């Protein structure tokens, strides 16, 4: 029978310096990311408005947008540089091994008090992983603080208090720990039971989990936001008309308090076979005309009508297959484990952590591919809204959204292909065939155009 680890036996060799390999891969990824950011920085520095949207953008808004994006870029390069050094430190030292030993020791003390099913390697693995993620969470706090309360604050986007920010971090971390531990224990069990043939089962398991989360998304959203049924009767009526025209099943329309965190705005729908809801950020309603909000929903429901969700799920399924297929190459690679101090035992969780570092260049490549699909779907949804007659309203909505969130900038194509799941504003406007008739700025609440 075909066995992945047998076929890649040559990778299980003491001649391979795995520490060097992981260090080089991490550094290579950093150099690539930073190069893209530097190219983008150069373009932003020029501060020239792309010709295609010159007529629509107020130069002051463009200037603000550019400054905001430069500030974000600098912060992310600083973050990444810090994380690279941290990564190289963890690779250089046998810190994973020390952590594995320490958590094992602590667990052995607790064993008499644990129920039978919690005495094995899986509990130890979860304990190990939770410790790593707790440390990362704490290290990340100052960066997150700076992002929200210095950068976002400076440009007027931060609307949250420190209390709320801290609460979101704590709730987020707690929720994440419960979820990740649940998923990990399932995966580790699959590795344990199925041995070499885990790939199909692990893929199936993770796919089932992601379907379950997708189903639970209305509940998860409510942990972070306050939902209120849409009050504006006129807007509600127009959205219901749009939904019934598209045969979108009867649905609840909610407004959420996006403004409690940030002034960035959005709208989306939840489309489960048995439950649908449309969710609109209060900031969107605040900034857009009724026609503008309806046009945005025309685009969103286009995603539903064109079956983009099942298609994205299929892409995810392929991605999981690729992830676990490749993990099959490393899960039993003794030379990899022993390079990091694990000479006697090879815990799968450690294999998974090391594998995650090895596969980063592949993740980058997959990112280019998934972005191609996601941009294609965005263009199709725009086209759909255009065919419904929202060409003008959607164009103005998009302009307004991009201007008010300061995301109108010039971009290097390679940077854009890597970082943007959405097409650029100029690309979307030309796709919509928008013809500029007025200048839109953050101050003007754009009115529907009079026929002339």
- The interface mask with Zn ion, positions 121-160, x = CB under 5 A, is ----------------------------------------
How many Å apart are CA 29 and CA 23, to the nearest integer? Answer: 10
Sequence-separated (6 or more) residues with CB below 8 Å from residue 419: 36
| CB 278 to Zn ion: min, Å | 14
User: Quick one: 381 or 440, whose CB is closer to Zn ion?
Assistant: 381
Please list the residues that pair with 253 across neighbouring strands. Answer: 278
Stretch that binds Zn ion, among 75-83, 244-252, 277-285, 370-378 (CB under 5 A): 370-378
Rounded Cα gap, residues 137 and 175, in angstroms: 13
| Closest CB to Zn ion among residues 37, 303 | 303
Dihedral (Cα; 427, 30, 207, 310), 10-degree rounding: 10
Q: Which is nearer to Zn ion, 267 or 350 (CB)?
A: 267
Distance CA 421, CA 154 (A): 26
Residue the block writes with tokens 């164009």: 395
- 214, 240 Cβ separation under 8 angstroms: no
* Residues 296-335 as x/- pattern, contact with Zn ion by CB under 5 A: ----------------------------------------
Other Cβ atoms closer than 10 A to 241:
11
Q: What is the residue-wise DSSP string for 87-154?
A: HHHHHHS-HHHHHHHHHHHHHHHHGGGS-GGGSSHHHHHHHHHHHHHHHHHHHHHHHHHHIIIIIIHH
Which candidate in 61, 148, 152, 382 is catalytic?
382
Residue 441 region by backbone torsions, left for phi larger than 0, else alpha for psi between -120 and 50, else beta: beta
The residues, ordered by sequence, that sit 6+ positions from 396 with a Cβ below 8 Å of its Cβ are 292, 440, 446
3-state secondary structure of 261: coil
Of the residues 300, 360, 438, 451, only one is catalytic, namely 300
In sequence order, the β-bridge partners of residue 252 are 277
* Shortest distance, position 245 Cβ to Zn ion, whole Å: 19
To the nearest whole angstrom, how small is the minimum distance from the Cβ of residue 19 to Zn ion?
Answer: 43
Closest among 324, 322, 346, 347 to 335, alpha carbons compared: 346
- Could you tell me the smallest distance in angstroms from the CB atom of residue 378 to Zn ion? 5
Size of the site for Zn ion (CB under 5 A): 2
Stretch that binds Zn ion, among 13-21, 280-288, 316-324, 376-384 (CB under 5 A): 376-384
Does the active-site annotation cover 300?
yes
Binding-site residue set: 299, 303, 378
262-288 burial by CB neighbour count: b if 16+ within 10 A, else e? Answer: bbbbbbbbbbeeeebbbbbbbbbbebb
Contact 142, 149 (CB under 8 A): no
Segment interacting with Zn ion, rule: CB under 5 A, options 121-129, 205-213, 229-237, 377-385: 377-385
* Nearer Cβ to Zn ion (92/376): 376
Smallest separation (angstroms) from Zn ion to the CB of 251: 18
Cβ distance to Zn ion smaller for residue 56 or 378: 378
Cβ(26)–Cβ(360) below 8 Å: yes
For Zn ion, what does the binding mask look like between residues 378 and 417, x meaning CB under 5 A?
x--x------------------------------------
Q: Per the structure block, which two tokens stand in for 345? A: 């035992």
For residues 148 and 378, which CB has a smaller minimum distance to Zn ion in the complex? 378
Q: Which residues are annotated as a binding site for Zn(2+)?
A: 299, 303, 378
381 vs 425, beta carbon nearer Zn ion: 381
Span near Zn ion by CB under 5 A; candidates 35-43, 165-173, 371-379, 436-444:
371-379
120: Cα within 13 Å, side-chain hemisphere: 8
Contact residues for Zn ion, defined by CB under 5 A: 378, 381
The residues carrying an active-site annotation are: 300, 382
């Amino acid at each position: 029978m075909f066995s992945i680890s047998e076929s890649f036996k040559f990778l299980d060799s003491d001649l391979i310096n795995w520490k060097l390999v992981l260090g080089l891969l991490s550094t290579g990824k950093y150099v690539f990311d930073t190069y893209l950011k530097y190219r983008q920085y150069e373009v932003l520095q020029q501060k020239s408005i792309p010709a295609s949207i010159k007529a629509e953008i107020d130069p002051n808004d463009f200037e603000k947008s550019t400054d905001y994006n430069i500030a974000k870029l600098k912060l992310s390069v600083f973050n990444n540089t810090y994380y690279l050094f941290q990564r190289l430190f963890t690779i250089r030292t046998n810190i994973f091994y020390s952590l594995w030993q320490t958590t094992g020791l602590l667990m052995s003390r607790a064993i008499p008090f644990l129920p039978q099913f919690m005495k094995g390697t899986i509990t130890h693995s979860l304990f190990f992983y939770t410790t790593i993620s707790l440390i990362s969470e704490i290290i990340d706090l100052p960066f997150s603080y700076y992002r929200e309360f210095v950068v976002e604050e400076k440009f007027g986007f931060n609307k949250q208090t420190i209390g709320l920010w801290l609460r979101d971090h704590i709730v987020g971390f707690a929720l994440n720990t419960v979820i990740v531990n649940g998923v990990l224990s399932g995966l580790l069990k699959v590795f344990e039971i199925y041995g070499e043939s885990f790939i199909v089962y692990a893929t199936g398991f993770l796919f089932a989990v992601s379907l379950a989360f997708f189903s639970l998304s209305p509940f998860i959203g409510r942990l972070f936001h306050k939902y209120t049924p849409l009050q504006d009767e006129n807007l509600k009526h127009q959205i219901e008309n749009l939904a019934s025209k598209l045969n979108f099943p009867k649905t609840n329309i909610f407004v959420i308090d996006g403004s409690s965190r940030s002034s960035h705005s959005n709208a989306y729908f939840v489309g489960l076979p048995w439950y649908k809801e449309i969710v609109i950020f209060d900031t969107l309603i605040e900034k857009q005309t009724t026609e503008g909000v309806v046009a945005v929903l025309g685009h969103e429901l286009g995603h539903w009508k064109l079956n983009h969700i099942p298609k994205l799920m299929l892409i995810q399924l392929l991605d999981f297959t690729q992830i676990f297929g490749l993990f099959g190459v490393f899960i039993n690679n003794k030379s990899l484990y022993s390079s990091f101090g694990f000479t006697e035992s090879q815990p799968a969780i450690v294999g998974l952590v090391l594998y995650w570092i090895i596969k980063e260049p592949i993740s980058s490549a997959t990112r280019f591919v998934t972005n191609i699909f996601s941009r294609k779907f965005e263009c199709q949804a725009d086209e759909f809204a255009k065919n419904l007659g929202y060409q003008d309203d959607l164009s103005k909505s998009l302009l307004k959204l991009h201007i008010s969130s300061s995301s109108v900038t010039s971009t290097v194509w390679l940077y854009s292909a890597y970082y943007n799941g959405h097409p650029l504003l100029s690309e979307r406007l030309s796709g919509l065939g928008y013809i500029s008739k007025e200048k839109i700025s953050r101050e003007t609440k754009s009115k529907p155009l009079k026929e002339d």
